A and B are shown apart, each in its own frame.
Chain A
């Protein structure tokens, strides 16, 4: 039974990639926030989405995850453009974790309920696994919203990973964490990726990008500015904006 469902997940994974984004645009109140965005991502590894504040990274992630509607363009997951069909194979962790007003364990159980996993033994196993992963076994019955920021983020990660998504979107998951918690989250990210989850991660932390990502997609002004292997792009950026960003200078809008 378990094997069968994980086989299904595996086949879904193959079906999702490559991800092709073509001329993606998002317009809000006549303002073009995402502009002719095009790129292609392969199945494996961790891709870091980088770029200055307001570049459109979070919006891009939300568009890919179908949280907001695009204005035009195409997003195709292995030629499949119906976002709803693949929603269940995706998960996302937000910069500020959103946890339900329930206990830690109920937050996890809720996700299983939504994903329609009624089998009690399977539920118990997945919850046990998630609690261990988050290091929150001792907090299982505590209100989730009383956890520290780092613990909340670990819980959000564990919740996102519990149904083994094919793709995990992370929007600055360690932005407000101390170095220690950051490392724990990074380990969770690497572990998930080792187990076959594709990860698209927004980060401003160049060190984190180097530690985790094989590839960087560098955005400015709602467009892809540069895409390349992590070290190539950081050490030898081709565009002026990327040069400035990775050398610690400030990239301003009028320097586009």
Chain B
């Protein structure tokens, strides 16, 4: 018991003193996940908006595939990316395995379907409401997709934040392709897993606390944005 309270006290000390290792891990976490989410947004928002607007043959299959991809087990994604990037894999010559880039790729693969599917869902509701009016004004399908993206911006920000929250909490895939190498590919979740197994509870707890705080911030933002949107009738 004293071990744990001591670890907790140490953890707080690490946070308050802005411990160099701790800060480095946090910054790398943010960097990897922000870049991954950015990539996922570019792809996922586009796919989602197009799926909301275009009713083509095979669309149902796309929607089912997207839902299925949303539930991809992170370790499996990690494994697949690993196979591609490993020395004997098709992309082995790029030498990306065990680098932050590999982690970004894995995270983006995990997050893109989530953002695409949630975007499609959100914008399709809006599309049903807008469709006849926009068609009446003479708006093309592609312009409809753009209009939906803009008019759905508040809801989409919360979609993106949900993706970011999910990325922050992810451990399986980044562990496999990143390798949790100190000062190179060690991020919050992988560090917690490793330090805990090594018995270094202080660092693990310190990172855990930061992770929880970030989760609160993300969800607080989601809440605040929803509230603003509703007040302005933009939801």
Contacts and interface: CB of A to CB of B under 8 A. Distances in A.
Interface of A: 62, 65-67, 87-88, 90-92, 94, 98, 100-102, 110-111, 114-115, 143-146
A62 B73 CA distance: 47
B151 A115 contact: no
B133 A94 contact: yes
Contacts of B232: 143, 146
Contacts of B129: 98
B138 A92 contact: no
Interface residues of B, number: 17
Nearest to B235: A101
A110 B151 CA distance: 12
B133 A98 contact: yes
A100 B136 contact: no
Contacts of A65: 136
A101 B138 contact: no
Given A94-B132, A94-B133, A101-B151, A114 B139 contact: yes
B215 interface: no
A100 B151 contact: yes
Contacts of B135: 66-67
B143 interface: yes
B233 A92 contact: no
Contact of A100 (B132, B138, B147): B147
Contacts of B143: 114
B54 interface: no
A131 B143 CA distance: 25
B1 interface: no
A107 B9 CA distance: 56
Given A94-B132, A94-B133, A98-B129, A87 B233 contact: no
Given A114-B143, A143-B232, A146-B233, A67 B137 contact: no
Looking at A94, A111, A114, the one whose CB has the most chain B CB atoms below 10 A away is A114
Interface in B135-152: 135-139, 143, 147, 151-152
Given A62-B132, A101-B234, 13 more contacts: A67-B132, A67-B135, A90-B136, A91-B136, A91-B137, A98-B132, A98-B133, A100-B130, A101-B235, A114-B138, A115-B137, A146-B232, A146-B233
